Amino acid sequence: MEKFNKLSGHAIPLRITNVDTDMIIPKQFLKTIKRTGLGEFLFYELRYDQDGNKISSFALNQEQYKDASILIAGKNFGCGSSREHAPWSIADYGIKCIIAPSYADIFYNNCFKNGILPIILDEATVSRLQDSSDSILNFNIDLEKQNITFLENNEKKEISFEIDPAKKKCLLEGLDDIGLTLNKVASIGHFEEGQENEIPWLYGNKLK
């Protein structure tokens, strides 16, 4: 997994609450087990009409938000089913950070496992950032310092955020669950060696 330290980019304001995972990536696109190729289907039913034409009023279809790497969403983002395809599609689209007042627990944890930083801020601050993003400002996110900086009326503004230290460490070091396990290979080997000596039958060995 790619390390996450600092991110500089503009944001997409998504002024919708209770966005569920079926809105993020509809069920018909869940046939693949690959993490790539899902970005084009992100928010598919919000981005396209029944004839497959782009809906111009939807933020992701607007030219000013092209190549945005930050999503500023409403509360309870990622609710619904636990499909991991939701963060896969977000990451594949190019979004590396989400800012929202709250998230569904499973989606929130899945973000960290896929290199996405989900930031929690109060509703008033999120609304302020959504309004600021209308001006296509550059937001600078520093995970190590846990802050967001941007210019507002030519004045530098800074907003701090909280994050679980363990989850922060995983993003900074680019560790998913497999990476965390591989970091403990030596300890696991030492444990198994001792266990095999104590209960060899568990490893298919005869008692001495």
Q: What is the pLDDT along the chain (208 residues), one digit of tens a residue?
A: 889 999 999 999 999 999 999 999 999 999 888 889 999 999 999 999 999 999 999 999 999 999 999 999 999 999 999 899 999 999 999 999 999 999 999 999 999 999 999 999 999 999 999 998 877 789 999 999 999 999 888 889 999 999 999 999 999 999 887 766 666 777 777 788 778 888 888 887 765 5
DSSP symbol at 95:
-
- pTM comes to 0.87
Q: CA-based angle 157:70:110, to the nearest 5? A: 120
Strands 11-13 and 139-142: unpaired
Which neighbouring-strand residues pair with 120?
A: 100
User: What domains are defined for the chain?
Assistant: 6-163 (3.20.19.10), 176-208 (no CATH)
CA distances, 20 to each of 16, 42, 55, 164, 208 (Å): 10, 12, 20, 24, 57
Sheet containing strand 147-152, edge to edge, reads 6-9, 139-142, 147-152, 155-160
Return d(Cα 194, Cα 82) in angstroms, integer: 38
- Contact criterion met (CB below 8 Å) for 43 and 23: yes
